[in-house]
Chain A
Amino acid sequence: MTTALEVDREPPGARTPRTPARRRRFRADAVRYRWLFFLMLPGILYFVLFRFWPMYGARIAFKNYIPFLGIEGSEWVGLTHFQEFLSNPDFPRLLQNTLIVAGLSLFIAFPLTIVLALLLNELRLNILKRTVQTLVYIPHFLSWTVVVSITALLFAIGNGPLWTFFGWLLGTDANMLADPDWFRPLILMQEVWKNTGWGTIIFLAALAGVDQEQYEAAVIDGAGRWQRVWHITIPSILPTIVVLLILQTGQILNTGFEQIYLMSNSLNRTVADVFDTYVYFAGIEQGAYSYATAVGLFKAIVGLVLIFGTNWLAKRFNQQGIF
């Protein structure tokens, strides 16, 4: 455990050899900042218990895991499960569906969060701003089960209000809940409705930190509202945007299991199957533990590569990365 603390103490990038002087210094720090270390403990425990310890179990991706035989007793099968997954005829479809759903969230839902945060920021009347903020946070606290149930009522064929509205608007009487063409729009609408408000929190915090004098100076120089947003607000929160973008990219294959699972049915499955539902189906429903773990591990590796990739790109464009 102490080694973990030591590693944390190292300044980023610096690789000084562990001299006796340094060790003494660490001990002095440990005593001096003992409360801070103590506060860190739950966090460290969390990571050890729920992030590092499970990696021991990730070995079953390379084994033919049978619970009765235990992790040790099960036979090693190398990359068989990975090969089986990558050569699965479903694989291209799963990848495509996952990327499209993630892309919609990254390129539409994510910018909308920024737009909403900017709009909120422009509200002058404080009480109005607070009220709107609170109202847009609420959907975040509803579970996906509730959101999907609400959707099912709103889009019920024959009498759902939104079914009637869209049917009138687009001249269709399709069962939108089952139509493959409607699956992605519905998923996006739910995502935007549920999470856009909540996502503004970080941006609003960043916006609160923008130097007010810059605005005053800009007003004196004759900058209009749009110019102030464009030349002051956005550049000021750009680092925040980039950091969140990098983190989002890492999550790209995590499309959110519950929402997709609850919204899928026989008629829209061709577009609804994503990695997460597949893992659930294969692993939990069918008990193919090793195979599902291999798929999960594959997802994690892709996520890691994407984080490093975006981070590298961000640095190339002179933005701060996350590491």
Chain B
Amino acid sequence: MPVLPTTVSKRIPLAVLAAGSLVLGACSDGGASQEPLESLTIMAPFFSPTPPGEDDPIDEALSEIAGLDLSVQWVPNSDYGAKTNTVLAGDDIPDVMVIQGKDQAFVQTAEAGGFWDLTEHLASGDYPNLVTENPEVQEASSVNGKVYGVYRARDVIRASVIVRQDWLDNLGLALPETTDDLYELARAFTEDDPDGNGEDDTYGMINPAWGGLGNGSPYDAMEVWHGSGNLWRDEGGELVPSFTTPEWNQALQYERDLVQNGYVNPDYATMDPATWNEPFLNGEGGIILDVQSRAIELVKLFKEQDPENFDQYVALGGQLDGPNGTFAMPTAGYSGFLAVPRSGVQNEDQLKQVLTALNELNTTEAQNLMNHGIEGDNYTLEEGGVVFDPAKQDFTDQVTGAWAQLGTNVAGYNAHPFQRETEFETALDQLRLDLMAEDVANAVYNPAAGFVSPTYTTSGAQLDTIIVDARIQYIAGQIDDAGLQAAIETWRSSGGDDVIQEVNDLYAELN
């Protein structure tokens, strides 16, 4: 520390004062203005290794399209939920927020008037690119019929069965069509030496640890295929949770048999989902129940390992018929939504500015920027579609891992397709589309998706955890049928019965 003048003692009160005013300043309102907006601040998650910087060319191009200077606050996806709740409790609230789930902080803030109700605005037709092509999905993203955000559209069918093609060939087996086929396949991959090395070193299915209920886990898929319904099921006008149905129990026994016989990876309760590909690549396990796009990812990885025969490892199959019929598991059709907090956007005029900007950000031109990058820079447009420049891979990662998160595509996705390097990959893209078309006919939707019950909002995460944990404990053999029923009883007495009541009240009221 430099030598201080002797008068420093007189400065102490000043320093204290300064600190005091800092404290006071922190609690006063940010003082948002009533004037038209000059820039648009957005909070969004990113998946890329690093977020886009200040002088990002996409930022510049999108700002021009939007007619407002964009300033995006990027938050790592893994911290996003926690960050949303801390930002909502703070003073520095952005103009537009990606809201990933209807949790307590969001719902209470929305119901207290903290977010603009966009229902009328979106229906008005003033913003053609924000008019949904799937009203059911918009309904599902709403809070009891009130639309608080422009949802981010996702493919409705993503779940699939991904199998080691070479193992199928070695054993002379085909892709599974039914859950029984899947069971038999898992058995054969475990016991019949599918890699032909003479050693007992393989298992069938690869399941990672999973948090949450009804969010696309392999277990969710197997339960839907058995006919348990998708989180909720309509039984004669009354909604019941899927895990109270006999079909769910039947599915759990099926899952338990898979695990107890050793047809599943032994670390199914602890495996990090980020390492899901590894056992498949290394030839430890041969079946993954996950989104179709994982098959494309796996093909890419095999291509690095074995450029000659990479097309002989991955087989992609559609969803399976269960013992009680044919049911397919859809996604929610959206992944969160872009909501407009009232703290930053103070009046209708400002809201119109924001919605106009979002409307522009949904044009084909903007979709291409957000999903591919800049033509002629990091990608070129060939006959079949987009081809990325390998030298600009880092930039491309930032585009697809961050900017794409701002895309809503509610009125349709019109960006260029990809040109694949090989025929095999082009065929795989086509297969995905075919499987989607086939499975969507059997999709089982969640009838309660748009309902927000107060009890679920306050304690839904704990309630879900009771069931998620009981499911794994049952599969692991830690608890038996009585224990499973006891867990469901705990769920009921911890607030589950209230949730059922509230959801049914809403069902009666809104249908």
Interface positions of A (Cβ within 8 A of B): 1, 30-31, 34, 37-38, 41, 45, 48-49, 53, 66-69, 88-90, 152, 156-158, 175, 177-178, 180, 265-267, 269-270, 281-289, 291
Interchain CB contact under 8 A, A284 and B82: yes
The answer, yes or no, to whether B293 is at the interface (CB within 8 Å) is no
Q: What total count of A-B pairs have CB within 8 Å?
A: 121
Question: With A and B bound together, what is the CA distance between A157 and B270 in angstroms?
Answer: 10
Known: A1-B16, A287-B85. Contact between A266 and B493, CB under 8 A? no
Interchain CB contact under 8 A, B465 and A269: yes
Chain B neighbourhood of A284, CB < 8 A: 81-82, 85-86
Interchain CB contact under 8 A, B473 and A267: yes
| B99-127 interface bits toward A, Cβ cutoff 8 Å, 1 = contact, 0 = none | 00001111011001110000000000000
With an 8 Å Cβ cutoff, the count of chain B residues facing the other chain is 48
Interchain CB contact under 8 A, A266 and B109: no
Question: With A and B bound together, what is the CA distance between A177 and B469 in angstroms?
Answer: 15
Interchain CB contact under 8 A, A1 and B113: no
Question: With A and B bound together, what is the CA distance between A291 and B472 in angstroms?
Answer: 28
Known: A41-B15, A284-B82, A287-B104. Contact between A68 and B109, CB under 8 A? yes
Interchain CB contact under 8 A, B468 and A266: yes
Known: A1-B16, A284-B85. Contact between A68 and B343, CB under 8 A? yes
Known: A67-B105, A281-B462, A287-B108. Contact between A267 and B89, CB under 8 A? no
Residue of B nearest to A287 (CB): B105
Chain A neighbourhood of B113, CB < 8 A: 68
Interchain CB contact under 8 A, A282 and B478: no
Known: A69-B112, A284-B85, A289-B89. Contact between A266 and B462, CB under 8 A? no
Interchain CB contact under 8 A, A287 and B112: no
Partner pick for B114 among A48, A67, A158, CB 8 A cutoff: A67
Chain A neighbourhood of B478, CB < 8 A: 180, 267
Known: A48-B19, A267-B478, A287-B108. Contact between A158 and B269, CB under 8 A? no
Known: A89-B490, A266-B209, A267-B473. Contact between A45 and B82, CB under 8 A? no
Interchain CB contact under 8 A, A285 and B468: no
Partner pick for A265 among B86, B104, B112, B270, CB 8 A cutoff: B270
Partner pick for B81 among A34, A267, A285, CB 8 A cutoff: A285
Interchain CB contact under 8 A, B461 and A281: yes
Interchain CB contact under 8 A, A269 and B469: yes
Known: A38-B9, A267-B472. Contact between A49 and B458, CB under 8 A? no
Chain B neighbourhood of A289, CB < 8 A: 85, 89, 105
The answer, yes or no, to whether B12 is at the interface (CB within 8 Å) is yes
Nearest CB in chain B: distance from A56 CB, A = 8
Q: Which of A31, A68, A178, A288 has the most CB of B within 10 A?
A: A68
Residue of B nearest to A269 (CB): B469
Interchain CB contact under 8 A, B267 and A68: no
Known: A89-B493, A267-B473, A287-B85. Contact between A178 and B462, CB under 8 A? no
Chain A neighbourhood of B90, CB < 8 A: 67
Question: With A and B bound together, what is the CA distance between A62 and B30 in angstroms?
Answer: 25
Question: With A and B bound together, what is the CA distance between A177 and B460 in angstroms?
Answer: 27
Question: With A and B bound together, what is the CA distance between A266 and B490 in angstroms?
Answer: 16
Question: With A and B bound together, what is the CA distance between A45 and B8 in angstroms?
Answer: 17
Interchain CB contact under 8 A, B12 and A38: yes
Residue of A nearest to B84 (CB): A287
Name 11 A/B residue pairs within 8 A (Cβ), A-sorted: A48-B23, A67-B89, A157-B267, A267-B473, A282-B461, A283-B85, A284-B81, A286-B103, A287-B103, A287-B108, A288-B105
Interchain CB contact under 8 A, A175 and B270: yes
The answer, yes or no, to whether B13 is at the interface (CB within 8 Å) is yes
Residue of B nearest to A291 (CB): B458
Nearest CB in chain B: distance from A65 CB, A = 8
Interchain CB contact under 8 A, B13 and A1: yes
Chain B neighbourhood of A287, CB < 8 A: 84-85, 88, 103-106, 108
Nearest CB in chain B: distance from A141 CB, A = 23
Chain B neighbourhood of A266, CB < 8 A: 209, 269, 468-469, 471-473
Residue of A nearest to B79 (CB): A284
Interchain CB contact under 8 A, B19 and A31: no
The answer, yes or no, to whether B58 is at the interface (CB within 8 Å) is no
